[in-house]
């Protein structure tokens, strides 16, 4: 699949991002306790990334129960964890070279659903070798999750990681497909099985706290212009949270930028109310003999 040859230094930045991320993931997961604050966990993880020499590649995603992706705390969020299934999805970049990982913490008493996504990822990683077809990886994920009696989330996928780009080809499906591509030595991809006791398809919710730049263009409003300057300088094309902006009335500035087609939002993706979703994700580099997992604790 690779059409860009990275340098040793660039691969090492992917690896360093993964090393930081593995440590932060474990520390953040330990902080997900009943009664703990969503905002405090997210801000701890994002600050710890910076302390270790990286930058967040996107806002920490904290998805609860039927939520699957793109949920992050708002400004002054007071939400606390309950007896729920919680997915943490965290990213790190070093000079735009990324790593992406996710883990489920279960306080809901549904250990098998958590195990289904974990074992699906383990099985997928064991299939990785040069020339492996992405549809074959998806079939392995689907087979494991189906064996637990659950459904894979079919309209969410793993993905390649580019420079300053969180999602690039190839997509790594969570089910068997005939289309797709073959992975090659040097490909950097995130594999992320989602398992659910719901239908296996997520939809967009009403909440939107994460955004990313689409097009740089002039805007007349002073507050929106200040927000855009911070976005282009600090985040570039990577996703950011409303709470990251250093402007008054950030929500209003973002609405203006959306109306001008400067940025787009990421609505929370969710299954049916009353269902649960688990997730497990690692970033890998495809090697001659299999793969190197950059986001695994060394």
Of 192, 208, 209, 271, which one is the catalytic site residue?
192
SS3 145: helix
Predicted confidence at residue 137, as pLDDT, reads 98
Question: Is there a contact between 261 and 214 (Cβ–Cβ < 8 Å)?
Answer: yes
DSSP state, residue 82 = -
| 261 labeled part of a ligand binding site | no
Look at residue 4 and tell me whether its pLDDT is greater than 70.
no
Q: In the annotation, is 100 catalytic?
A: yes
pLDDT tens-digit map of 92-139: 999 999 999 999 999 999 999 999 999 999 999 999 999 999 999 999
Of 16, 46, 67, 89, which one is the catalytic site residue?
89
Predicted confidence at residue 1, as pLDDT, reads 52
pTM of the model: 0.95
Q: For the chain, which domains are there?
A: 8-202+271-293 (3.90.230.10), 210-267 (1.10.10.10)
Which candidate, 259, 219, 244, 205, places its Cα nearest to that of 66? 205
pLDDT tens-digit map of 254-273: 999 999 999 999 999 999 99
- Residue 181 to residue 131: CA distance in whole angstroms: 9
Mean pLDDT of 129-151: 98
Predicted confidence at residue 5, as pLDDT, reads 82
298 confidence band (pLDDT: 50, 70, 90): confident
The overall average pLDDT reported for the chain is 96
The DSSP secondary structure of 215-254, one letter per residue, reads: -------HHHHHHHHHIIIIITTS-EEGGG--STTHHHHH
| 281 labeled part of a ligand binding site | yes
Whole-angstrom CA distances from 195 to 31, 91, 108, 166 are 23, 21, 15, 22
pLDDT tens-digit map of 165-189: 999 999 999 999 988 899 999 999 9
Q: In the annotation, is 261 catalytic?
A: no
Six token digits for residue 127:
């299939």
Whole-angstrom CA distances from 47 to 41, 55, 75, 102, 238 are 10, 9, 16, 18, 17
Q: In the annotation, is 209 catalytic?
A: no
| 70 labeled part of a ligand binding site | yes
DSSP state, residue 129 = -
Beta strands in the chain (DSSP E): 55-64, 67-69, 85-94, 97-106, 151-152, 158-162, 165-172, 188-191, 194-196, 203-213, 240-241, 263-270, 277-279, 282-287, 290-293
Q: In the annotation, is 38 catalytic?
A: no
Q: In the annotation, is 159 catalytic?
A: yes
Q: In the annotation, is 14 catalytic?
A: no
Predicted confidence at residue 169, as pLDDT, reads 96
């Amino acid at each position: 699949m690779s059409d860009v040859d990275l340098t040793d230094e660039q691969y090492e930045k992917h690896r360093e991002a993964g090393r930081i991320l593995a440590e932060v993931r474990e520390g953040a997961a330990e902080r997900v306790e009943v009664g703990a604050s969503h905002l405090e966990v997210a801000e701890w993880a994002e600050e710890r990334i910076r302390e270790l020499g990286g930058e967040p590649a996107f806002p920490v995603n904290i998805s609860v129960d039927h939520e699957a992706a793109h949920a992050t705390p708002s400004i002054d969020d007071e939400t606390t964890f309950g007896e729920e299934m919680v997915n943490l999805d965290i990213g790190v970049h070093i000079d735009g070279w990324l790593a992406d990982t996710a883990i489920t913490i279960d306080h809901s008493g549904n250990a098998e659903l958590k195990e289904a996504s974990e074992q699906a990822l383990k099985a997928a990683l064991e299939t990785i070798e040069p020339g492996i077809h992405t549809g074959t990886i998806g079939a392995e994920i689907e087979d494991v999750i189906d064996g637990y009696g659950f459904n894979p989330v079919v309209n969410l996928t793993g993905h390649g990681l580019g420079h300053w780009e969180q999602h690039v080809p190839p997509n790594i499906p969570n089910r068997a497909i005939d289309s797709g591509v073959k992975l090659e030595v040097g490909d950097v991809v995130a594999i992320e099985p989602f398992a659910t006791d719901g239908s296996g398809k997520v939809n967009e919710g009403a909440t939107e706290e994460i955004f990313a730049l689409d097009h740089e263009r002039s805007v007349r409003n002073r507050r929106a212009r200040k927000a855009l300057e911070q976005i282009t300088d600090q985040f570039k094309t990577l996703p950011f949270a409303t709470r990251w902006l250093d402007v008054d009335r950030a929500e209003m500035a973002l609405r203006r930028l959306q109306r001008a087609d400067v940025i787009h939002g990421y609505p929370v993706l969710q299954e049916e109310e009353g269902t649960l979703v688990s997730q497990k994700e690692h970033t890998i580099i495809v090697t001659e003999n299999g793969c190197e997992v950059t986001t695994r604790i060394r």
